[in-house]
């Protein structure tokens, strides 16, 4: 069984986990557009491909799948998830399973305003969000929202261009500099992250790992501690089933006054997944089990509380 990891970047650990799991049963292939993406060199075999928005990209992925008997493919970056979801049938026709949610769901997750609307329409607790700054100003006048607020790109990732904003002048400045921004009420609370595996066969969330974030660095969880709360597990279970998510996902949650607020979903391996794996929550194993035609049994919360993750830098030295 061969697995292909697209846009592997510096996610060496993910490549390593799949290699550990497959051992002699198959190979891990990886791609990136940058020859200096270190995770490439962790893989059994790698390919340098065009950028995802360049002509010929998807055809180069199809060729790799066909020539290397790839059973399953997934990506580690957000802008590629829609591409995989849109070409799901083409992948299946060549015998490769794309590990991704449907394009409808991926589209909602990729657009923070659509996610707000989805949550609101389904009566979840929500973080008040505006796409229209005039509507926001009018709500400020009405006393429905007040400064500070949080401004971020609608398709943001890795905490790029996020801003806590205290005045109309700052809002105007940001909107004049950047397109596609959203304004949110500023949340002061504890942040949590959830890594979830939704069984590809049963559609059930079979595994969940939740952690309290202690420190963030470059938009990724840098230090965190494992926690367990039945109320949080229940919320996530209900949410992922309603949204129809599948495979590996990562959810950001805020807690304010004992209430949980779902903030955003990345329908792929999150940057903090090594915490879950190191605590015994093995998504590669579950994924391979699914690919072998077996349903996974439900193991929600099968880990210990109070396990800490502390990230540190590593280097890859190689001739290329
Ligand atoms: N409404 C908000 N209020 C306060 N902080 C926020 C808010 N939204 C996001 N943040 C902070 O910014 C970070 C990045 O925002 P997020 O929506 O998760 O985007 P990204 O896709 O960049 O991860 C969050 O982890 C959180 O620390
Ligand atoms: Mg986030």
- All domains of the chain, ordered by start, with CATH? 2-99 (3.40.50.20), 128-185 (3.30.1490.20), 188-310 (3.30.470.20)
Q: Which residues of 79-92 are buried (b: 16+ CB within 10 A; e: fewer)?
A: ebbbbbbbbbeebe
Query: Atom 14 in ligand 1: which residue has the minimum CA distance?
Result: 159
**Which atom of ligand 1 is nearest to 266's Cα?**
21
- Local structure of 151: helix, strand or coil: strand
Of all ligands present, the nearest one to the C-alpha of 251 is 2
165-224, pLDDT tens digit by residue?
999 999 999 999 999 999 999 999 999 999 999 999 999 999 999 999 999 998 889 999
Q: Residues 278-286: what's their mean pLDDT?
A: 98
Give the pLDDT score at 157.
Answer: 86
First-to-last alpha carbon distance for the chain, in angstroms, is 27
Asked if the model's pLDDT at residue 78 lies above 90, the reply is yes
Q: How far is the CA of 14 from the centre of ligand 1 (A)?
A: 24
Mean pLDDT, all residues of the chain: 97
Give the pLDDT score at 319.
Answer: 86
Parallel, antiparallel, or unpaired: how do β-strands 259-266 and 129-130 relate? unpaired
Q: Among 3, 70, 71, which Cα is nearest to 43's?
A: 3
Give the pLDDT score at 220.
Answer: 87
Q: How far is the CA of 250 from the centre of ligand 2 (A)?
A: 9
Give the pLDDT score at 158.
Answer: 87
């Amino acid at each position: 069984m061969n697995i292909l990891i697209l846009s592997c970047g510096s996610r060496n650990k993910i490549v390593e986990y799949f290699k550990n799991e497959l051992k002699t049963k198959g190979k891990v292939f990886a791609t990136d557009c940058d020859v200096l993406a270190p995770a490439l060199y962790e893989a059994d075999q790698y390919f340098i491909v065009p950028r995802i928005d360049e002509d010929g990209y998807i055809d180069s992925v199809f060729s790799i799948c066909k020539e290397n008997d790839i059973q399953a493919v997934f990506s580690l970056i957000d802008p590629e998830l829609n591409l995989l979801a849109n070409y799901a049938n083409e992948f299946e026709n060549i015998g490769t399973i794309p590990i991704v949610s449907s394009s409808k769901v991926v589209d909602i997750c990729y657009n923070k305003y659509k996610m707000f609307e989805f949550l609101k329409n389904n009566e979840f607790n929500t973080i008040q969000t505006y796409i229209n700054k005039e509507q926001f100003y009018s709500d400020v006048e009405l006393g429905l929202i007040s400064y500070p607020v949080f401004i971020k790109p609608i398709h943001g990732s890795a905490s790029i261009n996020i801003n806590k904003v205290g005045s109309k002048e700052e809002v105007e400045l940001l909107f004049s500099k950047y397109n596609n921004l959203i304004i949110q009420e500023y949340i002061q609370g504890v942040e949590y992250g959830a890594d979830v595996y939704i069984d590809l066969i049963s559609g059930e969330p079979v595994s969940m790992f939740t952690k309290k974030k202690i420190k963030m660095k470059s938009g990724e969880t840098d230090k965190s501690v494992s926690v367990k709360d039945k109320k949080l597990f229940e919320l996530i279970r209900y949410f992922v089933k309603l949204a129809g998510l599948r495979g590996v996902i990562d959810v950001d949650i805020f807690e304010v006054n004992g209430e949980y607020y779902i903030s955003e979903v990345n329908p792929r391996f999150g940057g903090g997944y090594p915490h879950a794996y190191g605590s015994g929550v093995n998504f590669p194993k579950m994924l391979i089990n699914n690919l072998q035609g077996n349903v996974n049994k439900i193991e929600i919360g099968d880990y210990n509380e109070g396990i800490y993750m502390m990230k540190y830098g590593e280097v890859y030295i190689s001739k290329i």
